[in-house]
Structure 1
Amino acid sequence: MDDPNWFCAELARHLPDDMPHPIDPWNETVLPLYGTLARIRPAEKGLSIALEAEDAAQHGVAKGIVSYYVQAVMGEACPPLEWTGDGAGVKELPHFREMRVLSTQWLGPRMIRVELAGDNLQRFASDGLHMRLLFPPEGREPVWPTAGPAALPIWPEGEDALTTRVYTLRRVDPAVGRVSVDVVLHDPPGAGCRWARTALPGDRVGMLGPGGGDIPAKDWVLVLGDETALPAIARSLEEMAPDARGEVFIEVDSAADELPLEKPDGVSVRWLHREGQPAGTTTLLIDAARSVTWPGGPNVFVWAGAEFEAFKQIRQFCRKERGLKRNQHLVVAYWRRGLTQDSATKDTDDE
């Protein structure tokens, strides 16, 4: 490239919390990335990027992430990318698993749990709450994505094209090879809703992940979400330290949608009922956020997952009203009213 300085500056804009400052494109920059080290070095005609990892799966995933950001920065000017060295030419995606449906269970009037079975699930038990499910066309033998020279997925097209949706890994048990996925039902039903309603034992589905969405350990947390975020909230509460402190507000239609939750004693949970109002039209979550008595000290964190309008209100509350830094909040739009979504993560406070 003609201007390595521009590239490094743009990369820092895409990764504001990860790139070191200041950046010197004429010397090596070391970037920790998903458990690996990316070394950005000056080269004769621009830059070279070398990626080091202890684990082949982490290595493969991180290579795809690096390629993604290089393409995002360079846009249409980006040349074809190809990795050399360890793992070059490998066709398997290290973060892909083929899963089979074991069973389905109704948890409430609007939520179904689907139990999936698969092999080698250790990586899905940590490093992120979310994954992407891949639904093959009905009646066709699945054709799954493969890794290209840049370590990015090559997706099947035409009659073999896959439908994808993002979901929470509600529970992962690598010892027995099982994953639980809780699916919120809505009207009109999307691909995920139809799959959860009709899934039969033995049906195959693809899974990519994991990634993102964790609630970090802090002195105090504020958690806000509607039913689409309930699986993530439930898992996060189960995994919190016994001495964790915080407040949780969950918006659902009525008491019939409440689920039993395991939580630390120092974390309070309050259910907010819409009482028939359409999902995504209330101010219950932002009103709850503003009602909280804020604790002293900087070691606090706000996590929220909801409809797009609530996402914007809560993000504004975190940044403008509370003055929180980027590393003190994670606010995610899990869906958008008027669009067919299946609990898919679409917008975050990093955009």
Structure 2
Amino acid sequence: MVSHHPYRTFRTTVARITPLSPNFTRITLAGDDLVHFGTDGLDQRIKLIIPFADGTITDVGQFDENQSMGEWYKRWRGLPDEQRNPIRTYTIRAPRPDDREIDVDFVLHGTEGPASAWASRAQLGDPLFVVGPNSRSAERAGGIEWKPGDARSLLIAGDETAAPAICSIVESLPADAVGEVCIEVPTAADALPLAAPDGVRVRWLPRGAVGHGIRLSAAVHEWGRERARVPALTAAAPSASAPALSDPDPDEVLWEVPDAVTGGEYAWLAGEAGTITALRRHLVRDLGIDRRSIAFMGYWRQGRAEAS
């Protein structure tokens, strides 16, 4: 019996390019191997291996079925800069393995970052390597952090980098879901169509000339004030068994997700690390929400490039 690794590299090419708004574009990637792309969507993380300007991607054994991702990744890290293709983390907007396609939504923020630069100049037929879950593996690949359990009240908050994951999550919610969704985006025209259950309020927050994270923080604080007026949703002080909240090391990856939710509330926060850190601190210290009910993910950090 052949053993398959939980992650594999998929050869894809650009099949469609769909502008969504001034700052979002959807790129549909196609490839025969995507029939084995194993995910249910949600906030499924993937890695994109970005081609150089001439379309080339250095072979480090990505397609060797006998090697794990860790093995070829180690070789990739040892390459000289001029041979090491950038690798960036994204989330799936929509998987369609039966059609051998996936959609990835990109935030276009200039050409300084390799992923945005690639998406800005992408043409039909351009190659892209995608590292994602392998449906043929008996092991779970992971990469999905949305785990609300049976929480009855939801808070989902993030900036434009989290918008694709948030949209996928919201579209998956059951009809009786109740909660608040706050998405900060660059402009009002970046608010995307999104079908949500009747009990879930979706707020698109155009940033305009205001500093990054300010609109998002204000919306979450407003949600906290409204929550305080609903006694059933106001949490008691965290139990003595709850781990204490300390400020994270700014040089570390800011990522903490609960394996199992405690209590009736669940918060999913993703985006710029400084903003998300402050929001989690507010939820825990000011509102009394158990940190074990908060998924907290620093997708990026102001002033720093993503570490591959």
Q: Is the shorter-chain TM-score for this pair beyond 0.5, marking a shared fold?
A: yes
1:228 aligns with 2:161: yes
Provide Cα deviations, 1:99-124, integer angstroms capped at 9, x if missing partner.
11112121111111111012234413
Q: In structure 1, which of residues 254, 268, 288 is the aligned counterpart of residue 201 of structure 2?
A: 268
1:310 aligns with 2:243: no
Alignment: residue pair count: 256
Cα 1:127–1:280 change in 2 (3 A) is closer
Larger radius of gyration: 1
- For residue 165 of structure 1, report the CA deviation from its aligned partner: 0.8
Aligned partner of 1:185 in structure 2 is 108
Cα 1:326–1:290 change in 2 (3 A) is closer
Would the aligned equivalents of 2:180 and 2:200 in 1 still touch at CA under 8 Å?
Answer: yes
Aligned partner of 1:105 in structure 2 is 18
Q: Matches of 2:187 and 2:296 in 1, distance apart? A: 24
- For residue 150 of structure 1, report the CA deviation from its aligned partner: 7.0
Q: Per chain length, whose mean CA-contact separation is higher, i.e. which structure has more relative contact order (CA < 8 Å, sep 6+)?
A: 2
SS in structure 1 at match of 2:165? helix
Cα 1:235–1:140 change in 2 (3 A) is closer
SS in structure 2 at match of 1:123? coil
Aligned partner of 1:21 in structure 2 is none
Q: Matches of 1:55 and 1:238 in 2, distance apart? A: 36
1:129 aligns with 2:44: yes
Aligned partner of 2:210 in structure 1 is 277
Q: Matches of 2:154 and 2:104 in 1, distance apart? A: 25
Q: How does 1:188-267 map to 2 (within 5 A)?
A: 189-210=112-133, 211-217=143-149, 218-267=151-200
- For residue 219 of structure 1, report the CA deviation from its aligned partner: 1.2
Q: Report percent identity of matched pairs.
A: 29
Q: Which runs of 5+ in 1 are unaligned?
A: 1-53, 62-93, 347-351
Q: Matches of 1:116 and 1:279 in 2, distance apart? A: 30
Q: Which runs of 5+ in 2 are unaligned?
A: 134-142, 236-262
1:153 aligns with 2:76: no
Provide Cα deviations, 1:131-175, integer angstroms capped at 9, x if missing partner.
111113232542344368776232442343120111110000111
- For residue 286 of structure 1, report the CA deviation from its aligned partner: 4.3
Q: Matches of 1:287 and 1:190 in 2, distance apart? A: 32
Q: How does 1:321-336 map to 2 (within 5 A)?
A: 321-336=286-301
Cα 1:127–1:111 change in 2 (3 A) is closer
Q: TM-score, normalised by structure 1?
A: 0.65
Q: TM-score, normalised by structure 2?
A: 0.74
